[in-house]
Structure 1
């Protein structure tokens, strides 16, 4: 068996194996190759049966809870198998899910079979695992893609600004929280005719635009072209592209990854791999800046730039907003010291403190006076205590 199925143990009995066994014979044996192929397919078929039985049992339990009579489908156990009476696949996935995902990367021949066994939690199924087939069944008829978002944990994924758009549109999103998931989706570009789309990348579309909407979008881009060009000049090589965002978001800026580039999460994973090449570390993640032209801060920047494209306040604000958006979308801030200073200057400005105002001078005398007063009181207390002890000594 391949290494991704190394958790399966068993004995194969065959009359066709050669009597004279050696390593060379075993490696070149046509019979062994056929046995391996059959065993892998049999193992995956058994796992698919478990998943299918889970669905049948879950439906029966749901019908029972509703007080309905479930349609009894007497399933006889296959030879060599026990009849399944409880839900088993979630526990199996928790234990050996990584093995199956490794198989997605290594075993191209059985990738289609393995894809059916993939399970993830989603925005509409946070308490239980869902398959790609179940996702497609729940999706609206016109939805052409399967949307997902990868991160360190479900809690962090929920904080991502790029998720906000999907939630507002009531689009289900798969949550991928294991490091291997990013590699898996790299080998599965589509499933059942639906493309797998990473929300962390640019160019995400939830619906096709009408001819009128496209015309409006074009005119909007022309109006804000000076702003996108100004942002590109200010940020320079930090971003590969600047455009107006089509996402429904309350954030002023969204930093995403190029459609065919490395995502911020993948860059983080690669950076954490000890033997990773330097050229593939987290710094290799390119950034695309998406501007929300409806946000009041962006509108203020646009007004200032139209008057003076050298406006220092607009530049400071743009750089701070870019660094904040980078952090929100799992990118690193290139210069944390400069970021901290910019935030400090903007905070000073917001409460009318001069940018060059130094530290407040401290009057230490108020502390020394209090200390002297406390010492004087302590001395008086000691004298009174000494006077109280004198009569007892005379007696």
Structure 2
């Protein structure tokens, strides 16, 4: 009975046939007040009204559509009050014929990172609406794209709830992906204010790409793992802060262009924030030598880097994993100094390893520390401690692993520790480890015990200071 309702029929026409070329008319209904105190009602009149627009904007030539009309249509289909950042409108011909009108929003939706929510393009077949969220028409890492696809023919099931996978669907998905990546490349590579044919607007494109990347950069990185065929194109679109970029994002191409002579790898560091990365102990030797290190502060970064092994033939290497291999950037004298220190401090290394056997798998002399007494590193292909913490917080089971602690033989604390026979050695070793954790932006596993050890060491130091002060006074009195 619901389909006898004038309102319901009008709603169905607006949803599924609003853009077909022929006008659809229905008899108009008007509200008529009741007589003698009776309630009013909707009465069908003899006047006919057109209930669909009978005009699909995407079917018109691009030259006949103004930027304002493109933006108005975006707001209509996306329910966004802001203008789109950029858009592309194309008619694709060949074995699969379709029209695409795709928009990049200016702001990220609140549910951007919820991959379980259905997102996608509006799908039409010959102007007839088929699906609201045709998620198979774009890969998951481009789920923020809004717009429509109007195909000449597609295999559909009776209920329209499922878009059947076919060669045509794959062709459309690949075509949409190429078009979006091309639009992003156009925004990223130019720093002029000249609008593109795609209608990206009037402000500078580099500003637009910075706006895009701030909103959607983390999602774009998912494509490194999800879309191997376009991985190289996605890598060109990545932007990072670095130890030398002074608060500006740089591309991998810019990093490679200013690599030091003899540098063979692209160095990066994952951290919770740019500030944490800038103050990381692992960065010290790179700062000293003026070697640029990329800062990767998105949660997805370490996972994504597992799929991007190299760029322009240069391997990507984490400065917090494995030995700090500086290659030709480290001279023979420095390498020899590390070997000599390893022999000199061998007893201390063994004592620390014994004291921290539950926390670390090894203790060794560091070639990456300059000022800090110690730092923690994981194996070359191991999981960073930050990622391990995040996965544990989400309840995922991960294999247990222990980091390696590196110590700085030039640090006064380490030098004093090597000659100390203090009964507080065990406490000092654990405090050294916990401090290295804190430097990584991580909390000690037992903060209360950490505080107790600190207090105990402070009291011990205070007692020693008082004893030293009293001894000369006692000798003087005698």
Q: Fold-level match, TM-score > 0.5? A: yes
8 Å CA contact 1:258–1:286 kept in 2: the answer is no
Deviation at 1:154, TM superposition (A): 1.6
Q: Which residue of 1 aligns with 2:461?
A: 350
Structure 2 counterpart SS, 1:175: strand
What does 1:232-311 correspond to in 2, within 5 Å? Answer: 232-273=353-394, 276-279=395-398, 284=400, 286-304=402-420, 311=422
Deviates more, 1:337-346 or 1:132-141: 337-346
Q: Which residue of 2 aligns with 1:86?
A: 204
The alpha-carbon distance between structure 1 residues 168 and 219, as it changes in their structure 2 partners (threshold 3 A), is closer
Q: Which residue of 1 aligns with 2:175?
A: 38
Deviation at 1:2, TM superposition (A): 1.5
The alpha-carbon distance between structure 1 residues 32 and 327, as it changes in their structure 2 partners (threshold 3 A), is same
Structure 1 counterpart SS, 2:241: strand
Question: Which of these residues, 292, 302, 314, is aligned with residue 172 of structure 1?
Answer: 292
Question: Which of these residues, 416, 427, 432, is aligned with residue 316 of structure 1?
Answer: 427
Normalising to structure 1: TM-score of the pair? 0.74
8 Å CA contact 2:360–2:402 kept in 1: the answer is yes
Cα RMSD over matched residues?
2.8
Question: Which of these residues, 443, 448, 451, is aligned with residue 332 of structure 1?
Answer: 443
What does 1:367-378 correspond to in 2, within 5 Å? Answer: none
Structure 2 counterpart SS, 1:277: coil
What does 1:135-284 correspond to in 2, within 5 Å? Answer: 135-208=255-328, 209-210=330-331, 213-273=334-394, 276-279=395-398, 284=400
Q: Which residue of 2 aligns with 1:51?
A: 188
Structure 2 distance, partners of 1:76, 1:347, is 65
What does 1:52-131 correspond to in 2, within 5 Å? Answer: 52-54=189-191, 57=192, 77-78=196-197, 80-81=198-199, 86-87=204-205, 88-131=208-251
The alpha-carbon distance between structure 1 residues 298 and 76, as it changes in their structure 2 partners (threshold 3 A), is closer
Note the alpha carbon deviations across 1:305-364, whole angstroms, 9 max, x for none. 6xxxxx413333222222212221234323333322221121112222799xxxxxxxxx
Deviation at 1:27, TM superposition (A): 2.7
Q: Which has the higher strand share?
A: 2
Aligned residues: 324
Structure 2 distance, partners of 1:293, 1:119, is 36
Give the gaps of 5 or more residues in structure 2.
1-137, 467-478
The alpha-carbon distance between structure 1 residues 292 and 353, as it changes in their structure 2 partners (threshold 3 A), is closer
8 Å CA contact 1:145–1:197 kept in 2: the answer is yes
Structure 1 counterpart SS, 2:221: helix
The alpha-carbon distance between structure 1 residues 243 and 92, as it changes in their structure 2 partners (threshold 3 A), is same
Deviation at 1:237, TM superposition (A): 2.4
Deviation at 1:246, TM superposition (A): 0.5
8 Å CA contact 2:270–2:302 kept in 1: the answer is yes
The alpha-carbon distance between structure 1 residues 167 and 26, as it changes in their structure 2 partners (threshold 3 A), is same
Structure 2 distance, partners of 1:196, 1:348, is 46
The alpha-carbon distance between structure 1 residues 127 and 338, as it changes in their structure 2 partners (threshold 3 A), is closer
Structure 2 distance, partners of 1:149, 1:126, is 16
8 Å CA contact 1:147–1:196 kept in 2: the answer is yes
Give the gaps of 5 or more residues in structure 1.
59-74, 306-310, 356-395
Note the alpha carbon deviations across 1:157-184, whole angstroms, 9 max, x for none. 2232222222222122222222111211
Note the alpha carbon deviations across 1:194-225, whole angstroms, 9 max, x for none. 22222222312233355565445433322222
The alpha-carbon distance between structure 1 residues 178 and 236, as it changes in their structure 2 partners (threshold 3 A), is same
